[in-house]
Amino acid sequence: MPTLRTPPSGQPPRPRGPAAPGSRPSGLTWYLLAGLLVLAAGQAWFMKPPGRAVTYSEFKRYLRADQVAEVIVGPESLQGTLKQAEAGTTAFTTARIEDPKLVDELDARCVKYTGEVTNRWLTDALGWVFPVLLLVGFWSFFLKRMSGGPEGGVMSFARSKAKLFAEDDVTISFADVAGVDEAEQELREIVEFLRTPGKYTSLGGKIPKGVLLVGPPGTGKTLLARAVAGEAKVPFFSLSGSEFVEMFVGVGAARVRDLFTQAEAKAPCIIFIDELDALGRTRVQNPMGSHEEREQTLNQLLAEMDGFDARKAIIIMAATNRPEVLDPALLRPGRFDRQVLVDKPDIKGREAVLRIHTRGVVLAPEVDIAVVAARTAGFAGADLANLVNEAALLAARGNKTAVDQRDFDEAADRLIAGLEKKRVMSPREREIVAYHEAGHALVATLVPSLDPVHKISIVQRGFGALGYTMQLPLEDRYLLQRGDLINQLAVLLGGRTAEELALGDISTGAQNDLQRATDMARSMVTEWGMSDAVGAISYSDRRQSPFLEAGPGSDRGPYAEETARLIDGEVKRLMTQAHEQARVLLMTHRDALERVTRRLLVIEVMEGAELRALLAESVPPSHA
Ligand code: ADP
Ligand code: MG
Ligand code: ZN
């Protein structure tokens, strides 16, 4: 499916922190620099040797000439005064040299001498305090830098990434969600809890703790959770399960702890954990221990859910499209004990969703949203949002002033069968495809009680889809009867049968049809008990997600070799029957097949009405 949508709104722009990398040095650095200068100046002033610097030999000369009046002997230098001023001063300084006889000499010349009572604190201080200060300074400066920004930098990875959506930030309400009425109904109750928690707790009732939204991808689970926060006007903490499971061991658990601490301070509020399955998969005994981090996080989550005060109005919501992989501990009472199914919308729901998403779109007056809704069976809310966007883009590309029905049709075609491909088919290939699709379409029209054909196309789309026949269900179906399924088998085989009849050969284009037909026939036999020979027994051992497509490969259930042979025989019988049914129908309407194919080769895309007209013209007398 093409994804030309803009990213979903709702993530508020992240403000940059004041000390984000790249900004100017913080005040601390300036203080440090100033301090450094003052200290250096002080040292220079205090340490400046008073008086003229002389060499030690010079000093000795003065001493021997009896010119020295006084000497202060320091550990490293000698300071003294001369009896007569020389070079304008009597003071002098000289570096001290190891000279054991100095004292004797001083005594002999009757020079006043004394040891230096040094006040060296400043030097000492400068010696070690300063580097320490410098270190501390840089340390705190970098700490600040690294943890700068609301995202939390390197140093704050343990802190929760939960962003607090302030009350007015959540502007989503139930009016923005459609087609999931049952879920909405259940969640309205939660909104009520959050709005007036006292009303329920005063009677001794406990507010539900956890609500799990379960449903296929794109059905609006995230949207619903935000709508609950918007309706209840409470803060909304949202985190994705995968965000918990990253980086280092222990970080996830710390995040969970932090999230709950933050939330408790803000009650009433909602904590929303999206994609819970990333975090809450069944814990397994793993010899490699590679899932320890996730399990630790999950355990912490369970502990927090049990631990927090039930009287505080905190609702923990979570969403998943794979409920079957969740750890059973998550679903126990007191945890996510409420489960809300968010399913794909039915035809009315699709219409409502389309109306929501076309609110800001300029529509041509002839656009019929109900028709678009009818064409898009199986679309989830997100697909419908995508469809509207795609149609708007198409209209813009065509420089139209409004989005018209054709744009919607084309957008739907694209979403259903993949983008139009540029590669051209050879005339021979086109003919094969035309016969093939005409075969599908005719069988679909000729068998009773099936969805009427909406459109046939031999315009190549995406990989693998060389053409398609689209049937438009008159209503959403939740149950299919055996007769319907057998007819559907015939329709699936109709393409291949038409190739056989008209061209005397078959192509690889029918491979997908065959696979689908075989899968369906096998399910009829092994899952739905629709084969009399096998009986009403389910031999299926498939445990699959109810929402995701079944993976490839058919896993056979635990049954005997003999049963396997019986099943294979029944599948084969169903397929042969369907093939025969398609063959008879197409033989009877051989001329219609020809007409439809010729017409298709000209116009490439045929509407259902034209197909039925062509068929009506050529009903042979034998049919009556
Ligand atoms: P999920 O979380 O179930 O995968 P999202 O809530 O993320 O689906 O849906 C993605 C987008 O699709 C939404 O932002 C919204 O625009 C649209 N959408 C999905 N479901 C609905 C719905 N029921 N009503 C209106 N819009 C929907
Ligand atoms: Mg989601
Ligand atoms: Zn086909």
Q: Mean pLDDT over residues 132-146, rounded? A: 77
Q: Is the CB of residue 280 below 6 angstroms from any atom belonging to ligand 1? A: no
Token output for 158? 């343990």
Q: Is the CB of residue 302 below 6 angstroms from any atom belonging to ligand 1? A: no
Other Cβ atoms closer than 10 A to 377: 18
Q: Is the CB of residue 226 below 6 angstroms from any atom belonging to ligand 1? A: no
Q: Is the CB of residue 220 below 6 angstroms from any atom belonging to ligand 1? A: yes
Q: Is the CB of residue 179 below 6 angstroms from any atom belonging to ligand 1? A: yes
Q: Residue 623 pLDDT more than 50?
A: no
Highest mean pLDDT among 235-244, 461-470, 488-497: 488-497
Q: Residue 243 pLDDT more than 60?
A: yes
Q: Classify 70 as helix, strand or coil.
A: strand
Q: In which band, very low, low, confident or very high, does the pLDDT at 405 lie, cut at 50, 70 and 90? A: very high
Q: In which band, very low, low, confident or very high, does the pLDDT at 288 lie, cut at 50, 70 and 90? A: low
Task: Determine the pLDDT at residue 617.
Answer: 82
Neighbours of ion ligand 2 (CB under 5 A): 222
Is residue 607 among the annotated active site residues?
Answer: no
Other Cβ atoms closer than 10 A to 281: 19
Task: Determine the pLDDT at residue 16.
Answer: 37
Q: Which neighbouring-strand residues pair with 57? A: none
CATH fold label, 163-282+293-341: Rossmann fold (3.40.50)
Take atom 6 of ligand 1 and give the residue whose Cα is closest. 220
Looking at 437, 499, 500, 570, which residue is catalytic?
437
Q: Is the CB of residue 388 below 6 angstroms from any atom belonging to ligand 1? A: no
Thinking of the domain 29-36+38-118, which architecture would CATH place it in? 2-Layer Sandwich (3.30)
Q: Are strands 112-115 and 68-73 parallel, antiparallel or unpaired?
A: parallel
Q: DSSP secondary structure string, 411-437?
A: HHHHHHH-SBP-PPPPHHHHHHHHHHH
Neighbours of ion ligand 3 (CB under 5 A): 495, 513
Q: Mean pLDDT over residues 577-588, rounded? A: 94
Highest mean pLDDT among 160-169, 276-285, 364-373: 364-373
Cα(535) to centroid(ligand 1), Å: 42
The ligand 1 atom nearest the CA atom of 215:
3
Delimit the domains of the chain by residue range.
29-36+38-118, 163-282+293-341, 347-417, 427-544+557-623
- Torsion angle, CA of 327/332/338/339, rounded to 10 degrees? 30
The pLDDT tens digits for 192-228 are 888 887 887 788 777 778 899 988 888 899 999 999 9
Q: Is the CB of residue 80 below 6 angstroms from any atom belonging to ligand 1? A: no
Closest-approaching ligand to the CA atom of 176: 1
Task: Determine the pLDDT at residue 473.
Answer: 64
Q: Which candidate, 135, 87, 92, places its Cα nearest to that of 111?
A: 92
Task: Determine the pLDDT at residue 18.
Answer: 39
Q: How far apart, in whole angstroms, are the C-alpha atoms of residue 418 and residue 3?
A: 11
Q: Is the CB of residue 180 below 6 angstroms from any atom belonging to ligand 1? A: yes
Task: Determine the pLDDT at residue 77.
Answer: 81
Instruction: Give every CB contact of residue 250 below 8 A, 6+ residues apart in sequence.
Output: 158, 293, 296
**427-544+557-623 belongs to which homologous superfamily?**
Peptidase M41 (1.20.58.760)
The ligand 1 atom nearest the CA atom of 223:
6
Closest-approaching ligand to the CA atom of 345: 1
Q: Mean pLDDT over residues 556-561, rounded? A: 68
Q: Residue 325 pLDDT more than 60?
A: yes
Q: Residue 165 pLDDT more than 70?
A: no
Q: Residue 25 pLDDT more than 60?
A: no
Thinking of the domain 347-417, which architecture would CATH place it in? Orthogonal Bundle (1.10)
Task: Determine the pLDDT at residue 215.
Answer: 86
Q: In which band, very low, low, confident or very high, does the pLDDT at 417 lie, cut at 50, 70 and 90? A: low
Q: In which band, very low, low, confident or very high, does the pLDDT at 239 lie, cut at 50, 70 and 90? A: confident
Cα(221) to centroid(ligand 2), Å: 6
Cα(223) to centroid(ligand 1), Å: 5
Q: Residue 176 pLDDT more than 90?
A: yes
CA angle 169, 177, 232 (to 5 degrees): 45
Q: Is the CB of residue 354 below 6 angstroms from any atom belonging to ligand 1? A: no
The ligand 1 atom nearest the CA atom of 382:
12
Cα(43) to centroid(ligand 2), Å: 65
Cα(510) to centroid(ligand 3), Å: 5
Task: Determine the pLDDT at residue 177.
Answer: 94
Q: Mean pLDDT over residues 584-595, rounded? A: 93
What average pLDDT is seen over the chain? 78
Q: Is the CB of residue 217 below 6 angstroms from any atom belonging to ligand 1? A: yes
Token output for 305? 């859910």
Q: Residue 7 pLDDT more than 60?
A: no
Q: Residue 161 pLDDT more than 80?
A: no
Cα(136) to centroid(ligand 2), Å: 45
Q: Residue 101 pLDDT more than 70?
A: yes
- Torsion angle, CA of 220/225/227/228, rounded to 10 degrees? 140
Q: Mean pLDDT over residues 330-344, rounded? A: 85
Task: Tell me which of 66-80, 132-146, 256-270 is least confident.
Answer: 132-146
Task: Determine the pLDDT at residue 420.
Answer: 40
Task: Determine the pLDDT at residue 76.
Answer: 79
Q: Is the CB of residue 441 below 6 angstroms from any atom belonging to ligand 1? A: no
The ligand 1 atom nearest the CA atom of 177:
24
Q: Mean pLDDT over residues 317-329, rounded? A: 86
Task: Determine the pLDDT at residue 559.
Answer: 73
Highest mean pLDDT among 39-43, 141-145, 261-265, 430-434: 430-434
> Quick one: which H or E segment has residue 608?
helix 608-617
Q: Mean pLDDT over residues 573-584, rounded? A: 94
Closest-approaching ligand to the CA atom of 497: 3
Q: Is the CB of residue 319 below 6 angstroms from any atom belonging to ligand 1? A: yes
Q: Mean pLDDT over residues 88-105, rounded? A: 82
Q: Using CB atoms within 10 Å of the CB of residue 360, give its burial: 0 to 12 exposed, 13 to 18 middle, 19+ buried.
A: exposed
Task: Determine the pLDDT at residue 571.
Answer: 92
Contact (CB, 8 A) for 128 and 135: no
Q: Which neighbouring-strand residues pair with 314? A: 269
Q: Provide the H-helix boundaries in 381-536.
A: 381-397, 405-417, 427-446, 482-503, 511-526
Handedness of CA 153, 155, 158, 160 (dihedral sign): negative
Best of 11, 219, 223 for a ligand 1 pocket test (most atoms within 8 Å of beta carbon): 223
Q: How far, CA to CA in Å, does 249 sit from each of 252, 255, 259, 278, 280?
A: 7, 11, 17, 16, 16
Cα(178) to centroid(ligand 1), Å: 9
Q: Residue 522 pLDDT more than 60?
A: yes
Cα(416) to centroid(ligand 3), Å: 15
The ligand 1 atom nearest the CA atom of 274:
2
Q: Are strands 77-86 and 89-95 parallel, antiparallel or unpaired?
A: antiparallel
Cα(589) to centroid(ligand 1), Å: 46
Task: Determine the pLDDT at residue 388.
Answer: 95
Task: Tell me which of 9-18, 308-317, 348-357, 493-502 is least confident.
Answer: 9-18
Task: Tell me which of 147-161, 282-296, 386-400, 421-435 is least confident.
Answer: 147-161
Q: In which band, very low, low, confident or very high, does the pLDDT at 380 lie, cut at 50, 70 and 90? A: confident
Take atom 12 of ligand 1 and give the residue whose Cα is closest. 382
